[in-house]
Amino acid sequence: MKKIILLCCLLLNGAILFGQSKKKTSKKDKATTEVGLNATFLARNFFGAEDDVTSIDDYLLYYKVIKGKNALRMGLGGFINQRVESIPGEQREVVGTNLNARIGFERRNKMGQNWIYYYGIDLVTHYDELKFRTVTGIDDITTTDKYIEGGAGPILGIQYMINDHIGISTEAALLYFFTSFSSEDASVNFPGVNINRQFEEFRIAAIAPTNIYFSVKF
């Protein structure tokens, strides 16, 4: 995971240098590109605080195509985390898989020289899988929990532009989801005790502005 983080930082640094080296041209109705990196997510995971799953708002990268006051926005995040826990008489393997993706539209408005606020709507999909495998002297049991979600909702954000190319932003959202959940217990030696549970529901998720994004525009 840390190698991926370092690679993303190098790519963002290259984009910053590229953006700063471009000559100024007419900005009238000219489409620009903005790429952002989730600094909060990177810091939490780089210093070893990663969990088995992440929340719906954990997008590692975002990409925007901006023309005038309008922008097409996309985001992507996720990871695979694996660990092994050993205690006397038992070994446990935990594998967590997470994927977040979004696409949407935003309207951007300036507040003074450096501040921008924006609002819009996103279509969002979210996948979580958490798998526990427990091996004892008498059995090998695997428990698998899966969440698959799709939804949409309004977003509201604010951005501070340090200069023409580099900015810092955060945003909030209110998303309405359809959720499908399944949980399965699978025993190798005692298949008669296997359990499979499923349910579906609608839910609302309020996303607080807790993630800070560093961005570069070019």
**Domain with 176 in it: what CATH number?**
2.40.160
Tokens of 98: 């997470």
Mean pLDDT of 21-37: 70
- What whole-number distance in Å separates Cα of residue 170 and Cα of residue 78? 19
Q: Which domain holds residue 180?
A: 2-217
Of residues 28 and 201, more confidently modeled: 201
Split at pLDDT 50, 70, 90, the class of 198 is very high
Is 94 a residue whose pLDDT tops 60?
yes
Question: Measured between alpha carbons, how far is residue 85 from residues 29, 46, 92, 135 in Å?
Answer: 56, 21, 5, 11
Is 26 a residue whose pLDDT tops 80?
no
pTM score > 0.95 for this model? no
In 10 A of CB 112, how many CB atoms? 6
Any idea which residue has 């994927």 for tokens? 99
Q: What is the mean pLDDT of the chain?
A: 84
- pLDDT of amino acid 3: 45
Is 124 a residue whose pLDDT tops 80?
yes
| Number of domains forming the structure of the chain | 1
Any idea which residue has 């309207």 for tokens? 107
**In 88-114, which ranges are E strands?**
90-111
Mean pLDDT of 170-194: 93
Residues in Cβ contact with 4 at an 8 Å cutoff, skipping those fewer than 6 apart: 79
Specify whether the CB–CB gap between 42 and 5 falls below 8 A: yes
Of residues 19 and 38, more confidently modeled: 38
- What whole-number distance in Å separates Cα of residue 208 and Cα of residue 174? 9
Is 138 a residue whose pLDDT tops 70?
yes
Beta partners for 186? Answer: 142
How does DSSP classify residue 24?
P
- pLDDT of amino acid 133: 92
Any idea which residue has 């590692």 for tokens? 60
Split at pLDDT 50, 70, 90, the class of 48 is low
Listed residue (109, 108, 102) closest to 207, CA to CA: 102
Is 98 a residue whose pLDDT tops 80?
yes
